[in-house]
Amino acid sequence: MVGMGGGESLDVDGRRIAITNLAKVLYPATGTRKFEVIDYYTRIADVMLPHLAGRPITRKRWPNGVESAPFFEKDLPSSAPEWLARYAEQHSQRVITYPLATSRADLVWFAQMAALELHTPQWRVPNPDDGPPKADRLVLDLDPGPNVSLSQCAEVALMIRDMLSGAGLTAFPVTSGGKGMHLYARFERPVSPDSARTVARQIATSLAATHPDSITATMTKAVREGKVFIDWSQNSGSKTTLAPYSLRGREQPWVAAPRTWSELTEPNLRQLLFHEVLERVDADGDPLADLDLPHPGETAEPSINPVVS
């Protein structure tokens, strides 16, 4: 249960979280306040957490609301609650300690930090003896160029769905809450991030070759006018993509929203706001439920790295 505790704190399933500025407006265009953001993450937690499980979380924070400058945060601050699970990643010069999300309280703590956006890689923290991380999902980031609609992105998503299905993979579409879409597919047997990236690049370059007027697989901004850019590079082990069900720090509280294939072909396809996503989940559950089921040998609770100090 989420309830107001004494003073400025919330009790979330037995975790006490210090809360500040609950009434602060974070989205001036809609008047959306911080407590509504906290409420959203509280209510979406059950369907969102399986997609975050075991994935180090990069937060994009807007402490002064979406009309002020945001910043990315990877390392956990020393003020983080001790109950947060974490993953220490060794870099050549230093260690980055990321939080993992395992509970509703974790999401409330992120929201308290005005971490409107949660970003993750496409791999999960491996068990200690399992070697380097493996990608358990493929992602394709579909970016509409200038003068390209979300519906045109959806047309490309349908083409990719057919290609993936030919390879025995099921595709799951998510509108990004920004301009475009993200398309995911589960690897029944996880692969190296480099292999995932190669698969994604092949899909992108072959579709760009057969549809040169409407699709591009190259990053160059100049060639994107009138086309959908299939960004295959997000599969790299070092890259992150906005997590499904994350809010956006854009003008309005849009969400990275799982969609059905049939609605993608409807006219007036548009991005969804947080209350719309909550209503859908209450009515129909999680359309992405089959994307992130645990793999054999994977523990439901990720292993927690010791804190490196």
Residues engaged in binding ligand ATP (CB under 6 A): 72, 119, 141, 143, 176, 178-180, 234, 240-242
Q: Could you give the CA distance from residue 11 to residue 31 in angstroms, rounded to a whole number?
A: 25
Tokens for 110, please give them.
């992120």
Residue 72 interface partner, choices Mn ion, ligand ATP, none, CB cut-off 5-8 Å depending on type? ligand ATP
Q: Which is nearer to Mn ion, 136 or 231 (CB)?
A: 231
119 binds, among ligand ATP, Mn ion, none (CB under 5 to 8 A by kind): ligand ATP
Smallest distance, Å, CB 32 to ligand ATP? 19
CA 304 – CA 75 distance, rounded (Å):
15
Residue 240 binds what, of Mn ion, ligand ATP, none (CB under 5 to 8 Å, by partner type)? Answer: ligand ATP
- Tokens 């045109």 locate to 152
Q: Which is nearer to ligand ATP, 136 or 143 (CB)?
A: 143
33 vs 179, beta carbon nearer ligand ATP: 179
Which of the choices Mn ion, ligand ATP, none does residue 242 contact, using the CB cut-off of 5 to 8 A by kind?
Answer: ligand ATP
Locus of tokens 């949660």 = 118
The residues binding Mn ion (CB under 5 A) are: 141, 143, 180, 231
CA atoms of 155 and 260, how far apart (whole Å): 13
Q: Work out how close the CB of 216 gets to ligand ATP at its nearest, in angstroms, rounded to a whole number.
A: 14
What angle (nearest 5°) sits at the alpha carbon of residue 50, between those of residues 150 and 288?
A: 35
- Minimum CB separation of residue 11 from ligand ATP in Å reads 31
Q: How many CB atoms lie within 10 A of CB 29?
A: 12
Q: Which is nearer to ligand ATP, 83 or 270 (CB)?
A: 270
Residue 198, both tokens: 């190669």
Q: Which token pair is 61?
A: 């924070």
Tokens at 84, concatenated: 């947060």
Residue with tokens 């992108």, as numbered in its chain: 204
Q: Which is nearer to Mn ion, 36 or 141 (CB)?
A: 141
Q: Which residue's Cβ has the minimum distance to ligand ATP? A: 178
Nearer to Mn ion, 53 or 255 (CB): 255
Pairing of strands 241-242, 117-120: antiparallel
- Per DSSP (E only), the strands in 150-303 are 171-175, 181-191, 215-216, 228-231, 241-242, 254-255, 257-258, 272-273
In the list ligand ATP, Mn ion, none, the entry touching 83 (Cβ below 5 to 8 angstroms by class) is none
For residue 80, give the DSSP letter. S
Least Å from the CB of residue 149 to ligand ATP: 12
> Cβ closer to ligand ATP: 42 or 234?
234
C-alpha–C-alpha distance, residues 84 and 100, integer Å: 7
Least distance from ligand ATP to the Cβ atom of residue 150, Å: 9
**Looking up tokens 């009309």, which residue turns up?**
67
Query: 63 touches which of Mn ion, ligand ATP, none (CB within 5 to 8 A by kind)?
Result: none
Query: Smallest distance from the beta carbon of 221 to ligand ATP, in angstroms?
Result: 12
In the complex, what is the shortest distance from the CB of residue 69 to ligand ATP, in angstroms, rounded to a whole number?
A: 13
Radius of gyration of the chain (CA): 19
